[in-house]
Amino acid sequence: MKVKCIETKRPNKEGSYQSLKVGKEYIVLAIEFYDKSKSTFSESIGDFTLYRIKDNDGIVKPFPAKLFEITSRNLPTCWVVYEEKDGSYSILPKTWARVGFWEDYYNDDDTALEEFLKAEKEMLSED
C-alpha cells in the first residue's frame, strides 16, 4: 500500500512534521486504528487512524492518516489484523503482530529488527 503526503501540518497542534514532504509517496508498513470508546490510549484524543511509515530521515514512525491520500490500494500478502490489549487494532505483517513488537523494535532488539527487515523486504518486493 502506498500513500502520498498531502499535508505536513500537525492536526490540532501547532507546527508541522518536518520529516515528511508534500507530494512524496511513502510505503505504508502498518495501519493502526484507535477507537476512544475501546482504547484507553485514545480516550483523551479521540478516534483516529495512523499509517506507520519510514519518513524522510529513514525513521519508522506513526503519522495521522489524514496527512496522506492513498495512491496504491494493494495490500501486502503478509498483513494480518491484530487486536491490542487496549482495544486498538493494527493491520501489519504477521511477524509483527505480537505484544511489545514496536517497543522491542525501537529498543534495537535483535529479533524485532530481523523480523522488521524481513517483512519490509517482503512488502517492498510485492510493490
Q: What pLDDT is attached to residue 38? A: 58
- Indicate the number of domains in the chain: 1
Q: Nearest-CA neighbor of 52 among 83, 70, 29, 84?
A: 29
Q: What pLDDT is attached to residue 40? A: 53
Instruction: Supply 93's cell numbers.
Output: 505483517
HEC profile of the chain: CEEEECCCECCCCCCECCCCCCCCEEEEEEEEEECCCCCCCCCCCCCEEEEEEECCCCCEEEEEHHHEEEEECCCCCCEEEEECCCCCEEEEEHHHCCCCHHHHHHCCCHHHHHHHHHHHHHHHHHC
Distance of CA 56 to the CA centre of its chain: 14
pLDDT tens-digit series, residues 11-23: 777 889 999 999 9
Q: What pLDDT is attached to residue 60? A: 96
Structural domain boundaries, residue 7: 2-126
Residue range 39-56: mean pLDDT, rounded? 70
Q: What predicted TM-score, i.e. pTM, was given to this entire model?
A: 0.86
Statement: residue 64 has pLDDT above 80: yes
